[in-house]
Structure 1
Amino acid sequence: MTFSELNIDADMVQALAARGITEPFPIQQQTIPLALSGQDIIGQAKTGTGKTFGFGLPVIQRLGLDPEPGVQALIVAPTRELAIQVAEDLELATAGRSTTVASIYGGKAYEGQIEQLKAGAQIVVGTPGRLLDLAGQHLLDLSRVREMVLDEADRMLDLGFLPDVERLFSLTPAARHTMLFSATMPAPIVALARRFMTRPIHIRASDPDEGLTQANIKHVIYRAHALDKDEVIARILQAEGRGKTVIFTRTKRAAAKLVEELNDRGFNAAAVHGDLSQEQRERAMNAFRAGKRDVLIATDVAARGIDVIDVTHVINHTIPEDEKAYLHRVGRTGRAGRQGTAVTFVDWDDLHKWALINRALDFGQPEPVETYSSSPHLYADLEIPEGAKGRLKPTPPVKSERAHGRAEGGRGAGEGAERSGSSRNRNRRRTRGGSSTTQGTASASEAPASASTENVATGTHDGQGRQHHDGNTAPQRRRRRRRPSGGGGAPAAQA
């Protein structure tokens, strides 16, 4: 079946085809005809099954080719990342129309969003908090909304947004076309649908690859040491056929540390987590989608916005909390029939968590394989080229003795050589100690910075390996070393 056979307008069909989207997913096949007719719909589907176009294309088509300015369609999403993703998909479909899409969410300046509304945007995609904020300031008028979509309603419930959603519903006309989508249907979501929808039809759409989950995603579970994980990941990122990769961490700090480590090793990585500004997160996501960055490190909070088809690998830096979180994470790969690989690291302290996930998902692997970066089975399991190391960039060259001493602030690059009684250093000290009074005074007082550097290079230390730069102690050391040269230098040093 094609989108044309579902009665989608030709301009949208062409816009989708230009991006290689020609065949509708099952949920799109089921929802589009009903939505075009104005039927209220409850769609039960997982993230990544194509539901955005399932509700988006009918909404755009029902508004017409040249809709009047002003908000006529409202799409509510639980997170900023998902709102951005939905808005981008809708902008793709509206490429040949005068319809404009505005993204309204927190964490970003009001000015740009307000300008979009004042410019007459007909479709608004946003998160509950910012939508209510602008509506409360009378900057967002929802009184003319005739198309309303609630996306990932169960996630709204988890985040405590349901009261906000009810307020948004109350700000829109009762006679509207409403669609609600949710992966699960807990009682509060059912109650919400009954209250704000008119005779909705419940559609249960399966994942297009459901039943093939184990076949098209390779699940690899390793018991790994925390100090060796970065090294293992660096080798996995060199696997044959490795494309875009998502790495999940438990904490924001771990994500920030890992992205720095991988970039230092020569990989092209970006991070998405709560400590970054919204602009930074958007920049990272856009770079990942465009292929400018092929490794994305994210926390679970940011995972809902990662809807990229060509992800080949998912790596769980730390084990998810439960089987639902596991499926959500690994669901970033193996999309639209593509092959994917999911690698999960289990710490010793988290073996009990893996036992529960293993039992719930029936993996049949109760004991993860103990794995290190040098383990032969790591290379075999993930098709890593033999001889691959944990660094793409060559190790920076070792600094010269003088430069190293300068960088260390006077700790003395020649310290080890002096301790071992290097004749070269002893000769330098004798030469310095035997210099004229004028020369010794100039190096100590006229150019203190140069003297410090010179002391580092020549290795002037006390008997315990400590180096001295002050004007009192250093001459004493020179006096002791000057015994072979005799005579006139001692009074000069004391002076």
Structure 2
Amino acid sequence: MALPLALAGQDVIGQARTGTGKTYAFGVPMLQLVGKPRKNRKKPRGLVLVPTRELALQVTEDLVLASGKLGSRILTVYGGRAYEPQIEALKSGVDVIVGTPGRLLDLIKQKHLDLGQVTMLVLDEADRMLDLGFLPDIERIIKIVPEKRQTMLFSATMPGEIVALSRRYLTRPTNVRAENVTAEAEPTTLTTQFVYRTHRMDKIEILARLLQSTGNGLTMVFCETKRACDMVSEQLRGKGFAVAAVHGDLGQGQREQALRAFRNGKINVLVATDVAARGIDIDDVTHVVNYDCPQDDKTYVHRIGRTGRAGRTGVAVTFIEWTELTRWKVINNALGLSFAEPVETYSSSPHLYTDLDIPEGTKGVLPRASRSRAGLEAEEIEDLGETGRTRSRDRADRRGRSEREERRERPARTRERRRTRGGRLQDADTAADPVEQQAAPTAEASDSDDRATAEPAAGRRSRRGANGAALSDALAEIGPAVSESDAPPTVATTYEDAADDIEADDIEADDIEADDDAIAEPLPARRPEPERIIPPSPFVVVFKSPDLATDDDDLAPSAAAERIQHQQQRRRSNRSQPRRTR
């Protein structure tokens, strides 16, 4: 119905359910208007605005297929890719541009794109563009395009904002609907719908069994957040499924890699946010799973519209948690469905196997004999010269695993142990050490019976003795020496106190044995130990407020004394007053 009007040059508002072929409704008239390419014509004459990058690629593929005989030059313009290839294509000349508003405005601002000769403007999925906040950008582009043009607006739903936009920028448009008024948001009847009330911790098990149902082909799983997409894809991959994620945190190359692998059958599960819920047309999608409850009825319609397209049948399964039950009731009433009270379902519920045709005995892990998909790694990632982020949980996990494997392959580091004496490094020439020069006469002065034991102590000074000397030197700098009566009774006690400050790595078994022998020997006369610093008692009064009272000051009476004094005064006054007589 829209083709005759569009070919006649009239403005059109097209409204139809998703999957009914709206792309060719505006693509064929646009290619007919542009005609065959000419060498002297480099500026575009047709412009198609779409909300997402994936939809831009799909519209371009459809237009290239439709223009096979004409050979029209069609360029896709969207963010996340390098500017240079798009600029070179614009310089060589294009006939039709399909792009997102952001990158189009960037190229216009850089003076690489001129829309002065555009004769046909198309807004595809206009309601989605308004939801994403593209209305200011759309208005800026419409003001740049010449006023004398043909404008067409296509959308699956028609909210009030779209009606206001059409009245403002379209000239006497003709509204074409491919369905009745009451079925504006009604999902396709070729899709069998199931709604289950599930528990959050059991949803992944139900999904794993659903993916093994009879007749299951390609499956799209929709999540609410990017983090949920990563979590679901990671858990399904651990269960043996060939899965990939598509969301906004992925680079454009990764998103296109996942979609190509999904179209080619290298993976059979695509976990995505609502970025893939609009306009993505992939054949053989047999199941759509709403892992998280949709935000509204329009989102639900577009999600389950990925299956049951072009006369095919499909299955749509929606998981509703207890906290999402109120939101689902609003969606159910808006669409007129019969799932106001979803049945409580677990991964072991018998009706789950019966409804979805799951074989009996199916577990939550895909058997190894059924893992025939090549996987996402079999699809090469294209270098697009990306300008945005390429962060994702899967890539971070793979990078973390590679770093851990590298760390395991590294040789173990050997620690070089350096021995110290009295806090100083031990050199090869130990004769210059003053501590050892002091210990040498000690070994000579020992008894002959213990000479064998004293010689090792003189040749290699014990660590405890060295650290004790270092501690004595440090304490000597702090305070004056004390009398011999205040000194500790034995030097061994000082050694034990000093041993607490020695690191455990610097003590060896042979040193401890040598220390025991050295302590057994009579030690030489040493200078008196310095006075130990003993902290003051915590109960000592640090500050006492001065007493400012003098002997001439009178003490203030207490409250009880004042009360007694007041009562006595009242008694005296009563006695002094004369008694009344009749």
**Is the TM-score greater than 0.5?**
yes
Q: Does the C-alpha gap of structure 1 residues 473 and 249 become closer, same or farther in structure 2, counting only changes over 3 Å?
A: farther
> Which residues in structure 2 correspond to 1:58-457 (within 5 Å)?
58-67=29-38, 68-206=41-179, 213=187, 215-394=189-368
Give the C-alpha shift of residue 205 in structure 1. 2.0
Give the C-alpha shift of residue 355 in structure 1. 2.2
Give the secondary-structure state (helix, strand or coil) at the position aligned to 1:327. Answer: helix
Give the secondary-structure state (helix, strand or coil) at the position aligned to 1:35. Answer: helix
Residue in structure 2 matched with residue 457 of structure 1 by the alignment: none
For residues 174 and 94 of structure 2, what CA distance do their matches in structure 1 show?
A: 29
Give the C-alpha shift of residue 223 in structure 1. 1.6
- Correspondent of 1:52 among 23, 38, 57: 23
For residues 506 and 95 of structure 2, what CA distance do their matches in structure 1 show?
A: 79
**Does the 8 A contact of 1:154 with 1:184 survive in 2?**
yes
Give the secondary-structure state (helix, strand or coil) at the position aligned to 2:277. Answer: helix
For residues 133 and 68 of structure 2, what CA distance do their matches in structure 1 show?
A: 35
| TM-score, length of structure 2 as denominator length | 0.60
For residues 153 and 313 of structure 1, what CA distance do their matches in structure 2 show?
A: 26
Give the C-alpha shift of residue 471 in structure 1. 9.0
Residue in structure 1 matched with residue 397 of structure 2 by the alignment: none
Which string of whole-angstrom CA distances, capped at 9 and with x for unpartnered residues, describes residues 147-200 of structure 1?
211112222222222222122122122222221113333444334333333322
CA RMSD of aligned residues (A): 2.8
Give the C-alpha shift of residue 305 in structure 1. 4.5
For residues 185 and 364 of structure 1, what CA distance do their matches in structure 2 show?
A: 24
Q: Does the C-alpha gap of structure 1 residues 321 and 473 become closer, same or farther in structure 2, counting only changes over 3 Å?
A: farther
Which string of whole-angstrom CA distances, capped at 9 and with x for unpartnered residues, describes residues 60-98 of structure 1?
122113344331111011222221221121122123332
**Does the 8 A contact of 2:42 with 2:91 survive in 1?**
no
**Does the 8 A contact of 1:288 with 1:296 survive in 2?**
yes
**Does the 8 A contact of 1:151 with 1:180 survive in 2?**
yes
Residue in structure 2 matched with residue 493 of structure 1 by the alignment: none
Give the C-alpha shift of residue 473 in structure 1. 12
Give the C-alpha shift of residue 233 in structure 1. 0.8
**Does the 8 A contact of 2:187 with 2:305 survive in 1?**
no
Q: Does the C-alpha gap of structure 1 residues 390 and 187 become closer, same or farther in structure 2, counting only changes over 3 Å?
A: closer
Give the secondary-structure state (helix, strand or coil) at the position aligned to 2:359. Answer: coil
For residues 187 and 368 of structure 1, what CA distance do their matches in structure 2 show?
A: 31
Q: Which of these two proteins has the greater Rg computed from alpha carbons?
A: 2
Which string of whole-angstrom CA distances, capped at 9 and with x for unpartnered residues, describes residues 280-332 of structure 1?
11221222223222211111233224222431111111111222222221111
What amino acid maps onto 1:384 in structure 2? I
Which string of whole-angstrom CA distances, capped at 9 and with x for unpartnered residues, describes residues 99-156 of structure 1?
1211111222212221221221211001111111101111011111112111122222
**Does the 8 A contact of 2:9 with 2:150 survive in 1?**
yes
Give the C-alpha shift of residue 255 in structure 1. 0.5
**Does the 8 A contact of 2:212 with 2:366 survive in 1?**
no
Which string of whole-angstrom CA distances, capped at 9 and with x for unpartnered residues, describes residues 253-303 of structure 1?
110111122122221211111111122112212222232222111112332
For residues 44 and 103 of structure 1, what CA distance do their matches in structure 2 show?
A: 24
Give the secondary-structure state (helix, strand or coil) at the position aligned to 2:205. Answer: helix
Residue in structure 1 matched with residue 498 of structure 2 by the alignment: none
Q: Does the C-alpha gap of structure 1 residues 309 and 121 become closer, same or farther in structure 2, counting only changes over 3 Å?
A: same
**Does the 8 A contact of 2:188 with 2:305 survive in 1?**
no
Give the secondary-structure state (helix, strand or coil) at the position aligned to 2:89. Answer: helix
For residues 473 and 231 of structure 1, what CA distance do their matches in structure 2 show?
A: 56
Residue in structure 1 matched with residue 484 of structure 2 by the alignment: none
Residue in structure 2 matched with residue 440 of structure 1 by the alignment: none
Give the C-alpha shift of residue 242 in structure 1. 1.1
Q: Does the C-alpha gap of structure 1 residues 186 and 378 become closer, same or farther in structure 2, counting only changes over 3 Å?
A: closer
| Unaligned runs of at least 5 residues, structure 2 | 370-404, 409-503, 510-582
Give the secondary-structure state (helix, strand or coil) at the position aligned to 1:195. Answer: helix
For residues 357 and 189 of structure 1, what CA distance do their matches in structure 2 show?
A: 21
Which string of whole-angstrom CA distances, capped at 9 and with x for unpartnered residues, describes residues 228-249 of structure 1?
2111111101111111111011
Structure 1 residues 198-207 or 124-133, which shifts more?
198-207
Give the C-alpha shift of residue 56 in structure 1. 0.5
Residue in structure 1 matched with residue 449 of structure 2 by the alignment: none
Which string of whole-angstrom CA distances, capped at 9 and with x for unpartnered residues, describes residues 418-457 of structure 1?
xxxxxxxxxxxxxxxxxxxxxxxxxxxxxxxxxxxxxxxx
Alignment length (residue pairs): 375
Which string of whole-angstrom CA distances, capped at 9 and with x for unpartnered residues, describes residues 370-400 of structure 1?
22222221111100112222222459xxxxx
For residues 274 and 288 of structure 1, what CA distance do their matches in structure 2 show?
A: 18
For residues 177 and 252 of structure 2, what CA distance do their matches in structure 1 show?
A: 34
For residues 291 and 152 of structure 1, what CA distance do their matches in structure 2 show?
A: 27
| TM-score, length of structure 1 as denominator length | 0.70
**Does the 8 A contact of 1:79 with 1:305 survive in 2?**
no
Residue in structure 2 matched with residue 38 of structure 1 by the alignment: 9
Give the secondary-structure state (helix, strand or coil) at the position aligned to 2:306. Answer: coil
Identity %: 56
**Does the 8 A contact of 2:263 with 2:283 survive in 1?**
no
What amino acid maps onto 1:97 in structure 2? L
For residues 361 and 165 of structure 2, what CA distance do their matches in structure 1 show?
A: 57
Give the secondary-structure state (helix, strand or coil) at the position aligned to 2:56. Answer: helix
Q: Does the C-alpha gap of structure 1 residues 377 and 195 become closer, same or farther in structure 2, counting only changes over 3 Å?
A: closer
For residues 507 and 337 of structure 2, what CA distance do their matches in structure 1 show?
A: 71
Give the C-alpha shift of residue 340 in structure 1. 1.1
**Does the 8 A contact of 2:125 with 2:154 survive in 1?**
yes
What amino acid maps onto 1:156 in structure 2? M
